[in-house]
Amino acid sequence: MTAVIWTDVVQMFLYVLGAAVSFAVLLHQIPGGWHHVVAVAAPLGKLRVFDFGFQPTAAFFARRYSFWAGLVGGCFLTTASHGTEQLMVQRLLAARNERESRLALFASWAVIFVQFGLFLLIGVTLFVLRSTGTWPLRRMRTLFIRNSYGTPCLRVWQDW
């Protein structure tokens, strides 16, 4: 069990490190860096975290992103993933008692919160890079990897 846990730790470290490096590379490629990202994204609502508006109208249900949609969808997603995903079940079964099991779940939540925040920031910076550049939207990820990291990384990406 220890080998599995340490493998998960190494994988998560590499996962988050890769995301952090990508975010840094993106910021470096955007003229003006983070200040320009905020100047472009904030007026368009891309940095708005929560939308608490609630009106039982057709327009409300047509919106793609709101706090309420995230809450309802998150409940179903969490129920599905925490009850059936091997990683979560392993985390709960490896704990010595119920207290450690709860601690593992809360620690998982904290790590996932930071991870998703980082990925959302990468999305915002890609949006700003796209709005200031000439990269076609359909090939943006591929072009970003090729131009930033080189062809060997692109070959690895395309093999997945």
pLDDT by 10s per residue, the chain, length 160: 677 778 878 888 888 888 898 888 888 888 888 999 999 988 988 887 776 777 777 777 777 677 777 778 877 877 776 666 777 777 777 788 889 888 888 888 888 888 888 988 898 888 888 887 656 566 666 666 667 666 555 555 554 4
Predicted pLDDT at 35: 93
Residue among 135, 149, 129 nearest 34 (CA): 129
> Do the beta carbons of residue 33 and residue 27 sit within 8 Å?
yes
Rounded Cα distance between 33 and 48, Å, is: 19
Cα–Cα separations (whole angstroms), residue 20 to 24, 40, 82, 105, 115? 6, 21, 26, 24, 10
Say whether pTM exceeds 0.75. Answer: no
CA angle 91, 73, 109 (to 5 degrees): 30
The helix/strand/coil state of 44 is coil
Q: Residue 129: what residue type?
A: L
Taking the C-alpha atoms of residue 126 and residue 120, their distance in angstroms, rounded to an integer, is 10
Residue 68 CA from chain centroid, whole number:
19
Q: Which tokens is 131 given?
A: 């709005």
Residue 39: per-residue pLDDT: 92
